[in-house]
Amino acid sequence: MTTSTLVSAKGGAGTQRRPLRNFIDGEFVDGGLPFEIRNPATGAVHAVAYEADATMIDSAVAAGRRCVDGEWGQMPLVRRRALLAQVAARIEERFDEFLEAEIADTGKPRSMAAHLDIPRGAANFRIFADFIASLPDEAFEMDTPDGGRAINYSVRKPLGVVGVISPWNLPLLLMTWKVAPAMACGNAVVVKPSEETPSTTTLLAEVMNEVGIPAGAFNVVHGFGPGSAGEMITSHPGIRAITFTGETRTGAAIMRSAAATTKALSFELGGKNPAIVFADADFDAAVAGLARAAFLNTGQVCLAPERIYVERPIFDRFVAAMKEKAEALRPGLPDADGTDLGPLISEEHRQKVLEYYRLAIEEGATLVTGGGVPALEGLAAGGYFVEPTIWTGLPQNARVTREEIFGPCCHIAPFDSEEEAIGLANDTDYGLASSVWTRDLSRAHRVGRAMNVGISWVNSWFLRDLRTAFGGAKQSGFGREGGAHSIAFYSEITNICIKV
């Protein structure tokens, strides 16, 4: 295993505290105010990151600009693609270090990070390195007023320096989902990972140097949102576009800040995702699929269904089966035997989720299971765990059924007709994802299409082909990423019209 600068350094009173420095123009730079990173499974501090100041952001943007105008932006596509494929390969070679870093920041079960987060981090680079090679440019031949012809064709160029602002729930996966296509298009990126989970992004900076990505193409600045690195990126005149995943409220703040310099924006925001289970569904598959959907990553997945509508004849049986699944989940340390439920990301987030647990009861919910904090022993006693929780009996206008909670919880309600189910599912300010369960093929198409969301799954959930459009309707965001949509967003298109 390669000795990482992250894992070799020590600090604090004999405990390991990885120093996470800012990475600018191909180098880790000293300076910036330190802030502590905690392992949410134990509450212990395991790393210290350094908040970038305005001078560092300026340097990162200037380095990015030089790189887009120079070596990286001008590089033949075949070479750029090969380098990005090497990034994927190097992530795989250093898999264990990425895994340790992600687990330390998030506390999530090792099996989950090993099967989802880190492999997808590598896959994002490989897929976009491939995809960009086969994407056609458009061409239109036209008649001209003098009876002749002209040919139009478009070429894609880099936008310039792209600001990438990412959240904490799937840190490497969601950051690379944006960085890989942005870099494939020849842009430089200035990345600000979440202040809760900066480790894997910092490790990726090492990988960039190891495989020979030109200095300045990938920059990492650490810090917070308002008044810190996040806002400095969104207001920086040298940054042409912002790609952001996070809360809807944060998206609104970023729009305001980015307006003065008219940046292009791509937003993947919050959700209050519905699932619909028809009586004709494969019952066991629906229960297994939706229990996974509601509780994976402790419910901290933007696509998770927090509202489940079940056709009345199977409602009681479905609620009982979901209860059983929820109660079978074992919270604990990432490496403990049988752990399949990690902690929430922070004590602050746990307080928010517990406030919704309290509110649900106040709003008149029937508590099916959970609702509190599990009693854990040893190191996990200091972690930010909550119980998986299921409610029934709330009206459609309750805050718990309208607001995104982002915890391991869902509300289950009955319905009597397809039309009613569609109406209930779409009755929300959000529109990210939905999951419909039925064996009726026509209904699958009909209801799947009727969902006012960006991503409509049928008999599945979080099944991802990275070439497909990904994003949200209504307050869940705008713009789509994935495949050609990513390449379009991260490119400046010039149409060339030649009279022949």
Ligand X SMILES: NC(=O)c1ccc[n+]([C@@H]2O[C@H](COP(=O)([O-])OP(=O)(O)OC[C@H]3O[C@@H](n4cnc5c(N)ncnc54)[C@H](O)[C@@H]3O)[C@@H](O)[C@H]2O)c1
> Is residue 303 at the binding interface for ligand 2VS, with CB under 6 A as the rule?
yes
Work out whether 234 is an interface residue with ligand X (CB under 6 A).
yes
Q: Which stretch binds ligand X (CB under 6 A): 19-27, 262-270, 307-315, 375-383?
A: 262-270
Residues 6 or more apart whose CB falls under 8 angstroms from that of 500 comprise 148, 149, 150, 151
Eight-class DSSP state of 377: -
Q: Which of ligand 2VS, ligand X, none does residue 234 bind to, with CB < 5 to 8 Å depending on kind?
A: ligand X
Task: For residue 98, give both structure tokens.
Answer: 């990425």
Question: Which one of 33-41, 295-303, 339-347, 437-445 is the stretch in contact with ligand 2VS (CB under 6 A)?
Answer: 295-303
SS3 percent helix, strand, coil of the chain, rounded to 5, is 40, 25, 35
d(CA 219, CA 80): 17
Among 226, 364, 378, 395, the residue binding ligand X under the rule CB under 6 A is: 226
* 392, 413 Cβ separation under 8 angstroms: yes
Nearest to 462 by CA among 169, 165, 105: 169
CA distances from 409 to 153, 285, 345, 375 (A): 51, 19, 15, 18
Positions in 344-383 near ligand 2VS (CB under 6 A): none
The item of ligand 2VS, ligand X, none sharing an interface with residue 232, based on CB under 5 to 8 Å by kind, is none
Total residue length of the chain: 500
175 is a site residue for ligand X (CB under 6 A): no
Site string for ligand X, 388-407 (x = CB under 6 A): ----------------x-x-
Per CB under 6 A, the list member of 177, 218, 244, 384 interacting with ligand 2VS is: 177
Number of residues that bind ligand X (CB under 6 A): 32
Residue 286 in contact with ligand 2VS, rule: CB under 6 A? no
Q: Which does 343 bind (CB under 5 to 8 A by kind): ligand 2VS, ligand X, none?
A: none
Binding mask 103-142 for ligand X (x = CB under 6 A): ----------------------------------------
Pick one of 107, 198, 271, 343: the residue that binds ligand X (CB under 6 A). Answer: 271
Q: Is 93 in the site for ligand X (CB under 6 A)?
A: no
- By annotation, the residues acting in catalysis are 268
Tokens of 429: 């300010």
Q: Tell which positions 444-463 bind ligand X, by CB under 6 A.
A: none
Cα dihedral value 213, 214, 215, 218, nearest 10? -50
Q: Does 477 bind ligand X (CB under 6 A)?
A: yes
Q: Are 472 and 430 within 8 A, CB to CB?
A: yes
Among 195, 206, 311, 387, binds ligand X (CB under 6 A): 195
- For 137-188, give the DSSP string: PPEEEEE-TTS-EEEEEEEEEE-SEEEEE--SSSHHHHHHHHHHHHHHTT-E
Q: Which stretch binds ligand X (CB under 6 A): 110-118, 265-273, 282-290, 419-427?
A: 265-273
Are 198 and 229 contacting, i.e. CB atoms less than 8 angstroms apart? Answer: no
d(C-alpha 492, C-alpha 35), whole Å: 37
181 binds ligand X (CB under 6 A): no
Output 56 or 301, the one with its CB closest to ligand 2VS.
Answer: 301
Looking at residue 374, what DSSP letter applies?
A: -
Site for ligand 2VS in 450-489 (CB under 6 A): 464, 470
Distances (CA, A) of 43 to 33, 40, 106: 21, 5, 11
Enter the DSSP assignment of 41. Answer: T
Closest Cα partner for 238 from 263, 256, 215, 217? Answer: 263
Does residue 167 touch ligand X according to CB under 6 A? yes
230 vs 388, beta carbon nearer ligand X: 230
Which residues are near ligand X by CB under 6 A?
A: 165-169, 174, 192, 194-195, 224-226, 230-231, 234, 245-247, 250, 253-254, 268-271, 302, 404, 406, 432, 472, 476-477
The residues binding ligand 2VS (CB under 6 A) are 169-170, 174, 177, 301-303, 464, 470
